Amino acid sequence: MGIHVVPADCWIDPARPVDRALVTHGHADHARGGHGETFATPETLAIMDLRYQTREGAVPVAYGETVSLAGEVRATWLPAGHVLGSAQILLEHAGERVIVTGDFKRRPDPTCAPFEVAPCDVLITEATFGLPVFRHPPVQHEIARLLAAREANPDRCVLVGAYALGKAQRVIAELRLAGHHEPIWLHGALERMCRLYEELGVPLGDLRLVSDAKKDELRGAVVMCPPSALNDRWSRRLPDPITAMASGWMRVRQRARQRGVELPLIVSDHADWDELTQTIEQIDPTETWVTHGREEAMLRWCQLHQRKARALALVGYEDEDD
Amino acid sequence: MRAFSALIDALVYTGSRNAKLKLIADYLRATPDPDRGWALAALTGALDFPAVKSATIRNLMTERVDPVLYALSRDYVGDTAETASLLWPEPDGPPEPEPSLDEAVQSLSAMTRVSVTSDLPRLLDRLDANGRFALIKLATGAMRIGISARLAKTAFAQAFDVAVEDVEEYWHGQEPPYSALFDWAANGAEAPSGEHVPLFRPFMLAHPLEDTEVDLADFAAEWKWDGIRVQLVHAGGETRLYSRSGDNISHTFPEVAGALDFPAVLDGELLVRGSHQGGEQGGAASFNALQQRLGRKTVSKKMLSDYPAFVRLYDALIIDGQDLREHRWDRRRAQLEMLMARLDPDAFDLSTLIEADDFDRLARIREQARDDAIEGVMLKRRDSPYVAGRRTGLWYKWKRDPLLVDCVLMYAQRGSGKRSSFYSDYTFGCWQGDPDEGAELLPVGKAYFGFTDEELKWLDRHVRNHTVNRFGPVRETDKSLVFEVAFDSVHESKRHKSGLAMRFPRINRIRSNKPVHEADRIETLRALVRD
């Protein structure tokens, strides 16, 4: 469960309640409620508050700000480019620098601050898409495919399954950048997070609820829902939906087929293979520790490139819905 | 090549049959010759490139990518073609233009075991990831995208608005890329002729009898045998055995295919010798025995002697090159009876007619046939010509009444296509002993039809409200609902824990008021086995 920072006696992204937690971002598998004190960016704290009502003990830390912890440990939050408020955590202790990337990506994302490259001795990196088959195409390319499917089927709607925090808002923001300014219809489970993004300064345009729509209004529309609703009863009310899913896993055909997806959109909030390996090369740490994902292939790459590396094999982080 | 790889990609993600037909038909109309012919051949599995094997692809990859990273990737993706298409290193510099499908096919055909190591990479370098996937699938001959030959032919018929029976008939004499076939269908040229080729002729099929009664003065009755329908064709010195779908299965049943040596087209039921169907002497074994022989590429001597196959003939389309299809059934039948003397009795016998004075008497004879692992009765209009497909009023199948047992719903799985949000596939079980003394349920079968749309909605709700466990797309229910399950027969099977497997199980009735402990026991079902 999480990473124990022993000299400061605190935890990064703990899975169980602890006295002092340092949180990288708001996804449920990294951010849980019930800690004594929670150090995180103001955006992450707002997201956690929305999900778990965790105002008590919240300690906001801005990007670039440094916090002094027990045992002469200093912690600095740096943008990770994963979702709104997501951060890497830089730990300094006895002249040594350790960076915990949390989840990250290197592609531009209109809904969050870009990843910041900082030097360190030990890099603790994620490896969700740590296999060389994972190379995400440019997001504009995937958004264009979504809009083309919509264009070609004016009587149907395109139903996009997307993770409720981050992915949904990013897809909406990218649709707006691509010039799609018509109403985008939401499953109820996405509404509060989209509103919070807007309150935190990420404009998402005209959003409406599917439950308020007349059936014909949804013809030719883009509808967003969490992945779990794609093939469930909820979607029966939609006009002959084209089932799409925005996820890095869509790169593999069989994964898309298992989900019953007709229009797989390869849109990921995680670094792909090239981003992961380039990041290690850029930061050039003395040692690389790989946390969750496909550690084996990352370790093999490090070995092939004469880099010292080890796997931490953290359990409990889920990546299925990215 | 781009249009072809886009087609393959779209077919992978399309579940509905109609949508697949439309995708293929649109492609066939929009694509020029000979590309569309090669595509059709690829979809129907008619292409073979001996120089390219799955191992060839693996070797090419491990020369270019670290073998450990390749193996990890292959394990994760689960498909060699897809792994290779994703991992193939993009070439430096501006790519050469994509090859056409024709160019790709010509190039693949020209490759040898030696040249493949340099020629195939050159081809892959000119394609994007989707193109590489389609090319490797094409080259290794393992499309596995859920397209049957029948579906491809139907799409062809749809694309050019021609009858699918005609497509079936003309298809078989043709080689890829089927220029004459496209010329006929798309450009109105004369239909390709196949006089000296053992062509498949589409079968004449029967309608279910339902509640109709027929006059036996107009109709002849014969048994409906529980084997597989086959057509035996001899032309141009070659004999082929075709299955119901028009697949050539001669190599699976060489003893039958080798037994016809004059120009003829015969229609009959393929069976294995045994004592179940038609008495001890010259009888046939149950379908289960035939299943041992189906789907084999090579047949061992032991197989041939343990399960000898033969054809029980019931119609003749062509004899000595003379086409009889326009003639009345009774005339064809007389010709067939005369023909029997010229045929090897080890490989052929004649399907006997059932003698009955009237329909009621026939109904009684049919009822008594229960023990004979016979599927039912066929009724054939005495004056009917042999016409392809299912023509109303000419042939009827009158299946015997199904067997029934009461089972308990155990698991439900979501369907696909328009049923994708519904729990529509049901696994049901019977009691292994006395339920009042703590006996357990054992699954005995799975069914996904037999109920109305309204009943499906009700069942879906029942499953959701009675779920006790979830395993991915499967839900385990609290075992509180009884189904009356109908099925044609039941056999011993090692595949299931209960040791039994049903043929054609379907939900006959939802018995929501019946207490589950009154459902049937495994013994009841086992007593119905007739192997």
| Digit-coded pLDDT (tens) for B502-512 | 988 999 999 98
Q: Does residue A321 lie within any of the structural domains? A: no
Residue B448 forms part of a structural domain: yes
What's the CATH number where A77 sits?
3.60.15.10
Percentage of chain B with pLDDT > 90?
Answer: 60
Domain boundary among B364, B399, B434: B399
In a domain? residue B391: yes
Non-local (6+) Cβ contacts of B280 within 8 A are: none
| A158 and A219 both lie in a single domain | yes
Most confident of A122-136, B281-295, B415-429: A122-136
- The predicted structure's pLDDT at residue B149: 81
Give the per-residue SS3 of B166-178. HHHHHHCCCCCCC
Lookup result for tokens 């059934």: B329
**pLDDT per residue over A91-110, tens digit each?**
999 999 999 999 999 999 99
Q: Do A57 and A174 have their domain in common?
A: no
A64: domain range? 3-133+270-311
Q: Is the same domain home to B304 and B445?
A: no
Does position B281 have pLDDT exceeding 60, yes or no? Answer: no
Which residues in chain B are contacts of A261 at CB distance < 8 A?
Answer: 13
Task: Look at residue B373 and tell me whether its pLDDT is greater than 70.
Answer: no
Q: What percent of chain B has pLDDT over 70?
A: 96
CB–CB contacts below 8 A, A to B? 62
Non-local CB neighbours of B240 within 8 Å, separated by 6+ positions: B198, B200, B232, B233, B248, B250, B257
**Surface of A (234-273) touching B: CB under 8 A:** 235-236, 251-254, 256-257, 260-264
What's the pLDDT score for residue B350? 94
Tokens 């499908």 sit on residue: B101
State whether residue B290 is helix, strand or coil. helix
How far apart CA B240 and CA B263 sit, in angstroms, is 11
Q: pLDDT band at residue B399, thresholds of 50, 70 and 90?
A: confident
Question: Which of B65, B133, B420 lies nearest to residue A132, judging by beta carbons?
Answer: B65
Q: B399, B431, B450 — which closes off a domain?
A: B399
Touching A: B residues 464-483, CB under 8 Å: none
Q: State the DSSP H helix or E strand holding residue B128, giving kind and residue range, or none if neither.
A: none
Q: Is residue A316 part of a domain?
A: no
Q: Are residues B372 and B433 in the same domain?
A: no
Same domain, A114 and A62: yes
Cα dist. B349→B240, B262, B344 in Å? 18, 17, 9
Are B68 and B36 within 8 A, CB to CB? no
pLDDT digits (tens, 9 = 90+) for B334-360: 999 999 999 999 999 999 899 998 999
Give the residue with greater pLDDT, B208 vs A175: A175
Q: How far is A236 from chain B (nearest CA, A)?
A: 8
Predicted pLDDT of residue B472: 74
**pLDDT tens figures, A241-253:** 999 999 999 999 8
Identify the helix (H) or strand (E) that includes residue B513: none
Are A274 and A259 in a shared domain?
A: no
Tell me, yes or no, whether A225 and A281 share the same domain: no
List the single residue in B with minimal CA-CA distance to A251.
Answer: B86
Contact between A132 and B87 using a beta-carbon 8 Å cutoff: yes
Q: What is the pLDDT of residue B449?
A: 87
Q: Which of A280-289, B165-174, B468-477, B519-528 has the highest mean pLDDT?
A: A280-289
Asked if A91 and A98 count as a contact pair (C-beta separation under 8 A), the reply is yes
Closest to A304 (Cα-Cα) out of B91, B72, B90, B74: B72
Q: Do B247 and B380 fall within a single domain?
A: yes
Given a cut of 50, whether residue A115 has pLDDT beyond it is: yes
- For the question of whether the overall pTM of this predicted structure is more than 0.80, the answer is no
**Same domain for A175 and A259:** yes
Grade residue B287 by pLDDT with cuts at 50, 70 and 90. Answer: confident
B87 to chain A nearest CA, in Å?
A: 5
Give domain status of residue B137, yes or no: no
The pLDDT of B113-134, averaged and rounded, is 94
Judge if B360 and B416 occupy the same domain.
no
User: Model confidence at B299, in pLDDT bands (50, 70, 90)?
Assistant: confident
Question: Does B501 or B210 have the greater pLDDT score?
Answer: B501
Q: Provide ipTM, 2 decimals.
A: 0.93
Query: Is the domain of B373 the same as that of B414?
Result: no
Q: What is the CATH number of the domain that holds A192?
A: 3.40.50.12650
* CB-CB under 8 Å, B87 with A294: no
pLDDT above 70 (res A112):
yes
Going by C-alpha positions, the residue among A129, A118, A138 that lies closest to residue A78 is: A118
Q: Which of residues 126-165 of A touch B (CB under 8 A)?
A: 131-133, 135
Confidence of residue A318 (pLDDT cuts 50, 70, 90): low
What is the mean pLDDT of the segment spanning A15-31? 93
Chain B contact present for A311, CB below 8 A? no
Residue B321 lies in a domain: yes
Residue A318 lies in a domain: no
Indicate if A26 and A126 belong to the same structural domain. Answer: yes
Q: Does A274 touch chain B (CB under 8 A)?
A: no
CB count in 10 Å sphere of residue B528: 15
Predicted pLDDT of residue B372: 54
Whether A227 is covered by a domain: the verdict is yes
A81 or A295: which leads in pLDDT: A81
Set of chain A residues whose Cβ sits within 8 Å of the Cβ of B65: 132
Q: Are residues A219 and A307 in the same domain?
A: no
Across all residues in chain B, what is the average pLDDT?
A: 89
Reported confidence tier of residue A57, pLDDT bands at 50, 70, 90: very high
Residue A322's pLDDT is what? 61
Residue B371 has pLDDT above 60, yes or no: no
* Contacting residues of A for B420, CB less than 8 Å apart: 231, 260
B73:A131 CB<8 A: yes
pLDDT for the residue numbered B280: 46
> pLDDT tens across B302-324, in order?
888 888 999 999 999 999 989 99
Q: Average model confidence (pLDDT) for chain A?
A: 93
**pLDDT band, very low/low/confident/very high, at A54 (cuts 50, 70, 90):** confident
SS3 per-residue string spanning B430-447? EEECCHHHCCEEEEEEEE
Helix (H), strand (E) at residue B78: none
A23: in domain: yes
How many domains does one find in chain B? 2
Structure-model confidence comparison of residues B316 and A260, the more confident one = B316
Which B residues, 42 through 81, put their C-beta within 8 Å of a C-beta on chain A?
Answer: 65-66, 68-69, 72-73, 76-79
CA distance B335 to B338: 5
Residues of B in Cβ contact (< 8 Å) with A236: 421
pLDDT number for residue A159: 97
Residues B503 and B475 in one domain: yes
> How would residue B194 be classed by pLDDT, with cut points 50, 70 and 90?
low
If you average pLDDT over residues B214-225, what whole number do you get? 93
Pairwise CB contact (< 8 Å): B82 & A256: no
- The reply to whether A215 falls in a domain is yes
For residue B432, pLDDT beyond 70: yes
Q: B17-30 vs B35-43: helix axis angle to the nearest 10?
A: 150
Whether B231 and B336 share a structural domain: yes
Domain assignment present for B319: yes
Contact yes or no for B492/B500 (Cβ under 8 A): yes
Q: Is A55 touching B (CB cutoff 8 A)?
A: no
Q: Cβ–Cβ of A253/B69 closer than 8 Å?
A: no
Q: Does B384 share its domain with B475?
A: no
Asked if residue B475 and residue B358 are part of one domain, the reply reads: no
Structural domain span for residue B284: 204-399
Nearest CA in chain A to B87: A133
Whether residues B86 and A133 touch (CB distance < 8 A) is answered with yes
Q: Is residue B390 located within the same domain as residue B408?
A: no
**B360 and B444 together in one domain:** no
- CATH value at residue B413: 2.40.50.140
**Would residue A254 count as lying in a domain?**
yes
Residue B292, domain member (yes or no): yes
Domain final position from B380, B399, B418: B399
| Any domain includes B52 | no
Shared-domain flag, residues A42 and A160: no
Is A80:A104 a contact under the CB 8 Å cutoff?
yes
pLDDT band at B256 (very low <50, low <70, confident <90, very high): very high
Q: What is the pLDDT of residues B101-118, one digit of tens each?
A: 999 999 999 999 999 999
A34 inside domain: yes
Using a CB–CB cutoff of 8 Å, tell me whether B13 touches chain A: yes
A107 and A170 inside one domain: no
Contact between A172 and A225 under an 8 Å Cβ cutoff? The reply is no
Tell me the pLDDT tens digit for each residue of B52-90: 998 999 999 999 999 999 999 998 888 899 999 999 998
- Indicate whether A116 and A144 sit together in one domain: no
**Binning pLDDT at 50, 70 and 90, where does residue A284 land?**
very high
Residue B416, pLDDT above cutoff 80 = no
Chain B positions touching A264 (Cβ under 8 A) are 13
Tally the domains of chain A.
2
Interchain pair A253, B15: CB under 8 A: no
Q: What is the pLDDT of residues A208-217, one digit of tens each?
A: 999 999 879 9
B289 and B308 in a single domain? The answer is yes
* Residue A98 and residue A187 share a domain: no
**Has residue B276 got a pLDDT over 70?**
no
Residue B102 placed within a domain: no
Which residues in chain B have their CB less than 8 angstroms from residue A257's CB?
12-13
Is B416 close to A254, i.e. CB distance below 8 A?
no
Please write the tens of the pLDDT for every residue from A24-36.
Answer: 999 988 888 889 9
Instruction: Show the beta-strand stretches assigned E in B293-375.
Output: 309-319, 322-323, 348-350
Say if residue A141's pLDDT is above 50: yes
- Between B370 and A143, residue with greater pLDDT: A143
User: Which of the residues B22, B26, B77 would you substitute to probe the A interface, choosing the one with the greatest number of A C-beta atoms within 10 Å?
Assistant: B77
